[in-house]
């Protein structure tokens, strides 16, 4: 169902979803309102020194109270999907060890109804980084297989209450980032790592990421099994997972570097997708990690998703460190797959750098990523669940330089164009969700990095459309008018 014409906009498939994204901890605020329990991110951000500007998500952009206004902002842009996450601790303040918080249930009911009233499909993540602190305190969160019971219980409540209206479920946002940052580098809660890997001594960086990941995969499978057994026939929705997907370009044409790039993908992304889709960990991981890698039981679910969610922003080179030696840098250890991750080759960057230190503009990366996933996973339906451009506060930055965000517009144009090229060649991509609707709490960077299509004044919470919001609006409008003519 590709519409003809040489205008690139007209080539997105019919029924393509265009959206913007958010997450509960980064947007909602209201961290103790209406019976919400504390999450591990509440505790972590409250510890002095953890967040760059000393801030936290206590108020964030107060999406909890301003959601109706925010739905109007979405309507203005003309998106047909909105991705957000449910706060687990708002629904179950104490996990399965306490009551369901009816006020929390009601909040998302109202948000979902407001979206549907404007023709906007809710695209809902059950988990976007934060979990009830109770589960950390009781049994160590993701490190314990006990969490499967909690996650399945939480998922069942969400399917039961919202599944009549929610047709797109994401079990986890970036479990790969949670496993690595929570349990290897220790820069995210529960801040566990060994001294040789990070600034903490509480954990075991070579073992725990794989345990946490394994438990997240089991939680995902449990939720999918439950959804398929009890809800999907009636509710007719789709369930998937959103993986942080960095494109790794081989540093050179050598076989070693090509294998290094492949290892980088496997140790980062296929780590989750292979077990969910094929039922087993990637071979490269098994052979390098051996007994560090947990094993699946005989009845582990295969084909355990309806779509792959791709959070893609940036690309790096991967250089072999298995055959050759590498100086200190990310990726070089056994645990990480023996590759050196670098943005430079022969003094030239892979793409234009930005004020965000990990973000390089390399639009070919999104096409290569989608094409890679199409091939590896037999063209499983895909959604770009996140893609966006961040700008860091500068000492002299005024509101007008944030509003005239030409660089974000250029970024979105070039990435959408490259995405479209992959779609034209047959990739089954069904939607694109821009990160983010509003400027918000950017994790360790607090409020110093802005990803929004709308600017937020963090004192008054006033929202103002940036150029990118106006551009995205026109882009979507052009697309739908082509639809109407056809």
Catalytic residues: 386
Q: In the structure encoding, which two tokens stand for residue 47, read together?
A: 């510890």
Cα–Cα nearest to 258, from 329, 346, 318: 318
Question: Least separation, in Å, of the C-beta of 231 and ligand PNW?
Answer: 26
Q: Closer CB to ligand PNW, residue 34 or residue 352?
A: 352
Residue-by-residue DSSP string for 251-306: SSSSHHHHHHHHHHHIIIIIHHHHHHHTSS--HHHHHHHGGGS----TT--SS--S
What mask, x for binding ligand PNW by CB under 6 A, covers residues 431 to 460?
Answer: ----x------x--------x---------
Least Cα distance to 218 among 175, 184, 161, 167 occurs for: 175
Stretch that binds ligand PNW, among 60-68, 201-209, 307-315, 468-476 (CB under 6 A): 307-315
For 421, phi then psi, to 5°, come to: -65, -40
Residue closer to ligand PNW by CB (options 141, 175) is 175
* 57/163 with CB nearer ligand PNW: 57
Q: Is the dihedral of CA 223, 440, 190, 183 positive or negative?
A: positive
Q: Considering the rule CB under 6 A, would residue 411 count as an interface residue with ligand PNW? A: no
Q: CB nearer to ligand PNW: give 45 or 311.
A: 311
The answer to the question of residue 389 lying near ligand PNW (CB under 6 A) is no
d(CA 29, CA 441): 10
- Measured from the Cβ of residue 353, the count of other Cβ atoms closer than 10 Å reads 14
Buried b / exposed e along 438-474 (16+ C-beta atoms within 10 A): bbbbbbebbbbbbbbbbbbebeebebebbbbbebbbe
Would you count residue 360 as binding ligand PNW (CB under 6 A)?
no
Instruction: Select the span of 70-78, 172-180, 324-332, 412-420 touching ligand PNW (CB under 6 A).
Output: 172-180
Secondary structure (3-state) at 83: strand
Q: For residues 215 and 440, which CB has a smaller minimum distance to ligand PNW in the complex?
A: 440
Window 248-277: residues binding ligand PNW (CB under 6 A): none
Helix or strand holding residue 345 (H, E): strand 344-345
Size of the site for ligand PNW (CB under 6 A): 15
Interface pick for ligand PNW out of 127, 238, 314, 335 (rule CB under 6 A): 314
Closest among 388, 461, 444 to 63, alpha carbons compared:
461
Q: Does 313 bind ligand PNW (CB under 6 A)?
A: yes
Closest of 113, 111, 157, 162 to residue 132, by C-alpha: 157
Task: Assign 106 to helix, strand or coil.
Answer: helix
Do residues 142 and 182 lie in contact, with contact meaning Cβ atoms separated by under 8 Å?
A: yes
Asked if 179 and 250 touch (Cβ cutoff 8 Å), the reply is: no
Q: Contact at 8 Å (CB) between 416 and 2?
A: no
Near ligand PNW by CB under 6 A: residue from 24, 244, 262, 354: 244
Indicate which single residue of 136, 150, 174, 208 sits in contact with ligand PNW (rule: CB under 6 A).
174
Out of 10, 23, 45, 50, the residue judged to bind ligand PNW by CB under 6 A: 23
Q: Which of 38, 73, 112, 246 binds ligand PNW (CB under 6 A)?
A: 246
Tokens, residue 286: 């098994």
The reply on whether position 358 binds ligand PNW by CB under 6 A is yes
Range in contact with ligand PNW (rule: CB under 6 A) among 8-16, 203-211, 309-317, 324-332: 309-317
Q: Which of 59, 100, 105, 177 binds ligand PNW (CB under 6 A)?
A: 177
Shortest distance, CB of residue 153 to ligand PNW, whole angstroms?
Answer: 24
Q: Which of 45, 101, 185, 311 binds ligand PNW (CB under 6 A)?
A: 311
How many other CB atoms are found less than 10 A from the CB of residue 180?
A: 27
Q: Which is nearer to ligand PNW, 39 or 311 (CB)?
A: 311
Closer Cβ to ligand PNW, 150 or 174, answer by number? 174
348-349/344-345 β-pairing: antiparallel
Burial of 258 (0-12, 13-18, 19+ CB in 10 A): middle
- CB count in 10 Å sphere of residue 331: 23
| Piece of 276-284, 294-302, 310-318, 340-348 that binds ligand PNW (CB under 6 A) | 310-318
Which range, of 55-63, 65-73, 145-153, 308-316, touches ligand PNW by CB under 6 A?
308-316
- H or E segment to which residue 133 belongs: helix 133-139
The distance of closest approach from Cβ of residue 79 to ligand PNW in the complex, given in angstroms and rounded to an integer, is 18
Which of 11, 40, 127, 173 is in the footprint of ligand PNW by CB under 6 A? 173
Span of 74-82, 173-181, 292-300, 413-421 interacting with ligand PNW by CB under 6 A: 173-181
The smaller minimum CB distance to ligand PNW, of residues 262 and 387, is found at: 387
Part in contact with ligand PNW (CB under 6 A); list of ranges 58-66, 306-314, 321-329, 376-384 = 306-314
Decide whether 130 or 301 has the Cβ nearer to ligand PNW. 130
Residues that bind ligand PNW (CB under 6 A): 23, 26, 173-174, 177, 244, 246, 311, 313-314, 358, 386, 435, 442, 451
């Amino acid at each position: 169902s590709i519409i003809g014409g040489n205008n690139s906009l007209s080539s997105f498939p019919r029924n393509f979803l265009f959206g913007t994204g958010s997450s509960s901890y980064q947007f909602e605020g209201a961290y103790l309102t209406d019976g919400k329990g504390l999450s591990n991110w509440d505790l972590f951000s409250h510890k002095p020194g953890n967040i760059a500007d000393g801030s936290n998500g206590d108020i964030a952009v107060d999406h909890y109270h301003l959601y109706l206004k925010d739905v109007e902002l979405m309507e203005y842009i003309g998106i047909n999907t909105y991705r957000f996450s449910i706060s687990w601790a708002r629904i179950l303040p104490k996990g399965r060890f306490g009551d369901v918080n009816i006020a929390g249930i009601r909040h998302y009911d109202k948000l979902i109804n407001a979206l549907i009233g404007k023709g906007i499909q809710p695209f809902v993540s059950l988990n976007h980084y934060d979990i009830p602190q109770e589960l950390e305190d009781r049994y160590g969160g993701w490190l314990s297989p006990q969490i499967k019971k909690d996650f399945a219980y939480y998922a069942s409540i969400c399917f039961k209450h919202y599944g009549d209206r929610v047709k797109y479920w994401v079990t986890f946002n970036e479990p790969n980032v949670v496993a690595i940052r929570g349990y290897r580098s220790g820069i995210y809660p529960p801040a566990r790592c060994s001294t040789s890997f990070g600034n903490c001594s509480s954990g075991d960086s070579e073992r725990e990421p794989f345990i946490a990941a394994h438990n997240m995969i089991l939680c995902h499978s449990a939720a999918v099994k439950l959804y398929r057994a009890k809800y999907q026939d009636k509710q007719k929705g789709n369930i998937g997972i959103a993986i942080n997907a960095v494109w790794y370009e081989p540093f050179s044409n050598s076989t070693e570097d090509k294998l290094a790039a492949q290892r980088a993908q496997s140790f980062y992304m296929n780590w989750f997708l292979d077990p969910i889709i094929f039922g087993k960990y990637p071979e490269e991981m098994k052979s390098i990690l051996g007994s560090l890698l947990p094993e699946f039981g005989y009845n582990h679910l295969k084909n355990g998703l309806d779509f792959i969610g791709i959070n893609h922003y940036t690309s790096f080179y991967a250089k072999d460190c298995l055959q050759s030696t590498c100086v200190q840098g990310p990726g070089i250890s056994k645990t990480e797959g023996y590759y050196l991750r670098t943005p430079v080759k022969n003094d030239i960057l892979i793409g234009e750098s930005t004020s965000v230190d990990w973000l390089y503009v390399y639009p070919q990366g999104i096409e290569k990523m989608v094409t890679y996933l199409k091939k590896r996973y037999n063209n499983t339906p895909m959604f770009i669940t996140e893609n966006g451009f961040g700008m860091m506060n500068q000492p002299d930055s005024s509101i007008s330089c944030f509003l005239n965000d030409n660089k974000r517009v250029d970024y979105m144009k070039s990435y959408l164009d490259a995405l479209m090229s992959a779609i034209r060649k047959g990739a089954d991509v069904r939607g694109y969700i821009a990160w983010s609707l509003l400027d918000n709490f950017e994790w360790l960077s607090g409020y110093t990095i802005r990803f929004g299509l709308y600017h937020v004044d963090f004192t008054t919470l006033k929202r103002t459309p940036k150029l990118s919001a106006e551009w995205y609006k026109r882009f979507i409008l052009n697309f739908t008018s082509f639809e109407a003519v056809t």
